[in-house]
């Protein structure tokens, strides 16, 4: 069927994105509607597995490749590597999907990228004089040509640091923004819609991660008195953003990260949590996003990145699985559960924690036991301080990390 006609038909179905999936096991709720869902367009989820438009199962063997979210507003390490060669290497290593973080600056800053960071050699000459958005256009088209699935990740409202909310309304923080003023929830939604529509013609453009690691004052929904202001409620914001994205491009999947604690007296708030790791409230306050378009995408990290009391417990690492199960694992296979970020130095380098190898191995054991074989490892390039990359500082492939990932993918 012609995609334009199919997209128009989907848009005319009022409120279809608000049909709630079945309630989780913790608290029973009344079904929002018994009306049948219209057939999904494009990528969709069935029984916790992703499928393409033809109904074929898609396994995401994913890697994060950052840089469009940083002050350089382009892929990392182009001062030593060619941008097309990076995409080709990612593909050759066995990855078939890339999660690409971006920020509002990526879309709106007009300074050419070669003025933001040094570009090496003839391989990057095509990027000279291009704005960050024009470079993203080229990158997306080349990834699609090489057959890589792409999830665009709205990583932060600021290129300078990870911001806890998807809006900025504190004047003291306006300096973090590319335009030096407030950035509203509607600005965020508008930017999500921009990329959803801009890359709709690319066959391997799979989905959008609505916001990376909402935390701090953010809560899932009502229930915690110190964060009772609904502007801080992630559930409502994610539902509004998902509705707009799927109206602009019904072929996409919507990835929704967890939060830290909801502290509502229902979830188990005693479990130590990473940013973006906690999806417990989905069990009793489920997202009003149609389940065949929804991906729950927690982040989880070990001792290299974030210290938890869990790691110092006498029963470590045996205690990990119960926490992962509570925080996100309980939702598989009712929903698609795809970890958006995980990783670490894996035992190498001065920043490496001695227990990180144990932690990463335990996570892969847990995911294999659950039948979860989709994720996005953090990250490709070596200059992520907390984790390193699939490439080491000499740009050589970390074969130990690749062996771990092949085991996770079921290719060992």
Active site residues: 213, 341
Length of the chain: 412
Helices (H), 127-218: 132-145, 185-198
C-alpha angle 116/114/99, rounded to 5°? 75
CA distance 340 to 329: 14
Beta-bridged to residue 251, according to DSSP, are none
8 Å CB contact between 32 and 261: no
8 Å CB contact between 284 and 266: yes
CA distance 183 to 165: 10
Query: Which helix (DSSP H) or strand (DSSP E) does residue 376 occupy?
Result: strand 375-378
Quick check: helix, strand or coil at residue 76?
A: coil
Return all residues near 220 (Cβ < 8 A) that are at least 6 apart.
Answer: 233, 234, 235, 259, 262, 264, 281, 282, 285
Quick check: helix, strand or coil at residue 168?
A: strand
Return all residues near 379 (Cβ < 8 A) that are at least 6 apart.
Answer: 63, 64, 65, 66, 343, 387, 389, 390
C-alpha dihedral over 331, 334, 340, 343, to 10 degrees?
60
**β-strands 49-51, 57-58 pairing:** antiparallel
Return all residues near 200 (Cβ < 8 A) that are at least 6 apart.
Answer: 3, 7, 248, 249, 251
8 Å CB contact between 215 and 164: yes
CA distance 133 to 107: 5
CA distance 6 to 172: 45
Return all residues near 186 (Cβ < 8 A) that are at least 6 apart.
Answer: none
């Amino acid at each position: 069927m012609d995609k334009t006609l199919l997209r128009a038909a989907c848009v005319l179905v009022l409120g279809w994105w608000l049909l709630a999936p079945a309630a989780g096991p913790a608290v029973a709720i009344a079904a929002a509607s018994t009306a049948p869902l219209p057939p999904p367009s494009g990528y969709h989820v069935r029984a916790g597995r992703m499928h393409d438009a033809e109904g074929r199962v898609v396994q995401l063997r994913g890697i994060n490749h950052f840089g469009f979210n940083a002050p350089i507003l382009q892929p990392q390490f182009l001062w030593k590597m060619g941008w097309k060669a990076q995409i080709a290497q990612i593909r050759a290593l066995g990855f078939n999907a890339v999660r690409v973080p971006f920020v509002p600056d990526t879309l709106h800053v007009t300074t050419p990228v070669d003025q933001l960071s040094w570009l090496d050699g003839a391989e990057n000459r095509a990027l000279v004089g291009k704005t960050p958005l024009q470079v993203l256009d080229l990158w997306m088209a080349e990834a699609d040509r090489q057959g890589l699935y792409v999830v665009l990740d709205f990583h932060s409202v600021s290129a300078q640091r990870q911001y806890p909310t998807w809006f900025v309304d504190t004047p003291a923080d306006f300096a973090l923004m590319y335009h030096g003023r407030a950035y509203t929830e509607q600005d965020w939604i508008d930017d999500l819609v921009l990329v959803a529509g801009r890359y709709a013609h690319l066959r391997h453009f799979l989905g959008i991660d609505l916001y990376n690691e909402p935390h701090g004052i953010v809560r899932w929904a009502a229930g915690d008195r110190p964060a009772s202001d609904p502007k801080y409620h992630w559930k409502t914001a994610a539902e509004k953003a998902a509705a707009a994205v799927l109206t602009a491009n019904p072929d996409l999947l919507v990835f929704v990260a967890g939060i830290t604690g909801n502290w509502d007296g229902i979830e188990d708030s005693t479990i130590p949590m990473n940013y973006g790791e906690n999806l417990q409230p989905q069990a009793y306050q489920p997202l009003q996003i149609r389940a065949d378009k929804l991906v729950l995408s927690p982040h989880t990290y070990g001792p290299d990145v974030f210290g938890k009391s869990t790691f110092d417990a006498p029963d470590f690492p045996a205690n990990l699985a119960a926490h992962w199960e509570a925080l996100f694992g309980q939702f598989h296979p009712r929903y698609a559960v795809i970890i958006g970020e995980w990783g670490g130095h894996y035992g190498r380098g001065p920043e490496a924690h001695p227990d990180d190898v144990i932690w990463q191995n335990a996570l892969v054991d847990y995911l294999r036991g659950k039948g979860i074989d989709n994720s996005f490892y953090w990250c490709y390039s070596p200059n992520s301080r907390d984790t390193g990359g699939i490439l080491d500082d000499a740009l050589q492939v970390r074969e130990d990390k690749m062996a771990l990932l092949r085991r996770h993918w079921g290719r060992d």
